A and B are shown apart, each in its own frame.
Chain A
Amino acid sequence: MKLTLVGTSHKLAPVEVREQVALDAGAASELAHRLAGDGREAAVLSTCNRTELYIVAGEEDEAIAELERVGGEPLAPYLYRLGDEAAALHLFRVAAGLDSMVPGEGEILGQVRAAYEAGACGPVLDRLFRSALHAGRKARTETAIGESPSSVSAAAAALAQQVFGELDGRRVLIVGAGKVGELAARNLRSRGADVAFVANRSADRAVELARKLGSEPLPLEGVAVELERADVVVSSTGAAGFVITRDAVEQSVRRRKGAPLFLIDLAVPRDVEPSVGELDGCFLYDIDDLEAVVAESLAGRHREAERAEAIVAAEAKRFREWQASLDVVPAIASLREHAEAIRTAELAKAEGRLGGLSESERRTVDSLTSQIVNKLLHGPIVRAKEAAALEGVGYADALRHLFGLDDDGRDGHPRRLPGQ
């Protein structure tokens, strides 16, 4: 059963095209079920970076037509079409985050799972998606591809963890109620930190952001006092001068009894006096420092990607072998039925000669003949599966030819092997 992938992604299509073919969960599921049926399987993976249709035993042109219908325009220049092994390898790479804008990003694994759950999956897509999820998880656990931060706010949170360990219950003070500070605050909060205060020159915006983050608003004048109790300070105001001075931090350090203070200055021009970083127990990172951490981290992810590629390739090879072994399954089923038919026919012929046997003896003869048939077939069947995995459908045809089998399991005339 042929596996086909038709899709577009950030590598070929600009955002204007991608947003045309992007599907929400409901629409993706509906499209998958429309493409499936009559022994066909389909799943649709749609994220902000890609929309891909995986179909089994379906028509490639039909899938393209569906995509173009969704997009409302011809998509030929932006589409890629892959079959069988290449399609499987592609999905495995996608699940491992190797095809993402940021290598190893974690969100894609959940999106692949969602596509699998919403799809119309039969045996092939079921195996394909489960293998892809396995490959994605394995790439992340056996390499460090997904470990290091890929954004400034994630880098700030990771550095805070480098100082404090777990952030559960750590008090965060947000200075400035802008979008940048909010992103950093959300990242810290997602790791267990407690956003205690939001300080801003405009009280309204402080109240609004504080409400969103479940914290308390604070006037800018209150920052110096709260420095004493905060563990992490994130500052991102639009002020022209320093909002957090060395003097203010120095005074709070004396009262902190050696507890570390981590300051993240996301503002340009900077909010925190740079010499604050020299104070004992104080760690100060500005936007340039954090961007350097992100750059280093992305370089590390690219290095780890090479190891993840090897993992993904091994998983894709395993899937290819399984898929190839499927081609021989109908022939094996036919062979078993053929052998069973011969066995029962021969037993029926011998009925007259076995008339004197008791019921128990008849069962013994029945079991004995079954065992003989099974033992005779076991070796060839195992080897046919192995050979099919490595060399394709030729062995299935050979089995049909040698035993005179039809695809539906009945005796038939020997078929000619390809090339005869």
Chain B
Amino acid sequence: MVDLLFWPALLAYGEAAVAYAGNVRYPGLGRFAIWGVRAGWLVQTALLVVQAYRADGFPWDTWAGSLNLFVWLVVGGYLVWGCRPRYRLLGLAVMPFAAVLLGASYLGGGADADGSDHFSTAFLLLHVGLVLAAFAALTLAAALGGIYLWEERALKLRRPGLLRLRAPSLLTLELLGWRTVVVALPLLTLGMVAGFAHGASIDPQIVVTLVVWALYVGFLVVRPRGRRAALLQVAGFALVLTAPLGLLLTHLS
């Protein structure tokens, strides 16, 4: 059953990634990409439901399971506003990444349905769920930052074909990136508080998460604009990427 849901989800995400790439040259392909995202996300939702049902709890506390849930949150977040034609470039940044991570999750056993024996479901939902949701939002913010940097460079270099791509404006990208971080930081804070309240000790994963948290608190306090803001969003994402590594180290130790 799990395989029956995993492969169609991966296939749909892969199709969306290819269609988004093709959309740069043939704008009509964007429509197929959007349907790929929608179909993939619905099938992955069904996959997660089946996993939860079989495990009778929270089956995503392994690094591979977390990756599975993380991909679902990223694509879900993207679906909130990313399907508009103006944001198709963002799909090109998000969907290949989502497809690769979902594949990695499967290889690591993230699509299995093994529940955790160590922690209660409520705690895992609160802690892992919130932290992953925050990381997913920060991933989207980084994608927005990446597109900002690319578009800013295209404008600086006065590339004549820029208008043909129908990308969002620089200020839209900046504002959306800011708002995404504004949403992500409280989620991350609550998730961390839940972890500490449960008596979590300092380990590599927590250190990485604390650094990410501090970076984004600084981001919201200083509120940099333009290129600097975009660079910080991308740098923050590089740290977010190291968090699963921290989780892996924690599990190995």
Contact = CB atoms under 8 A, between A and B. Distances in A.
Contacts of B162: 159, 162, 293
A260 B160 contact: no
Nearest to A296: B160
A163 B170 contact: yes
Contacts of A278: 156
Given A162-B155, A163-B155, A292-B158, A260 B167 contact: no
Given A149-B163, A293-B160, A159 B169 contact: no
A414 to B, nearest CB: 54
Nearest to B224: A258
Interface residues of A, number: 29
Contacts of B164: 144, 148, 296-297, 300
B27 A144 contact: yes
A409 interface: no
A281 interface: yes
Interface string B162-178: 11101111111000000
B161 interface: yes
Contact of B169 (A149, A163, A289): A163
11 contacts: A155-B163, A158-B163, A163-B169, A164-B169, A164-B170, A258-B224, A258-B226, A259-B225, A281-B226, A293-B163, A300-B164
Chain B binding surface SS class = helix
Contacts of B158: 277, 285, 289, 292-293
Interface in B194-241: 224-228
Interface of A: 144, 147-149, 155, 158-159, 161-165, 257-260, 277-278, 280-281, 283, 285, 289, 292-293, 295-297, 300
Contacts of B155: 159, 162-163, 283
A308 to B, nearest CB: 13
B162 to A, nearest CB: 7
B227 to A, nearest CB: 6
**Interface size of B as a range:** 20 to 34
B227 A281 contact: yes
A162 B170 contact: yes
A147 B164 CA distance: 9
Contact of A164 (B27, B167, B171): B171
B156 A162 contact: no
Contacts of B168: 165
A163 B170 CA distance: 5
A158 B228 CA distance: 25
Contact of A159 (B27, B163, B166, B167): B163
B163 A297 contact: yes
Nearest to B155: A283
Given A277-B156, A283-B155, A260 B163 contact: no
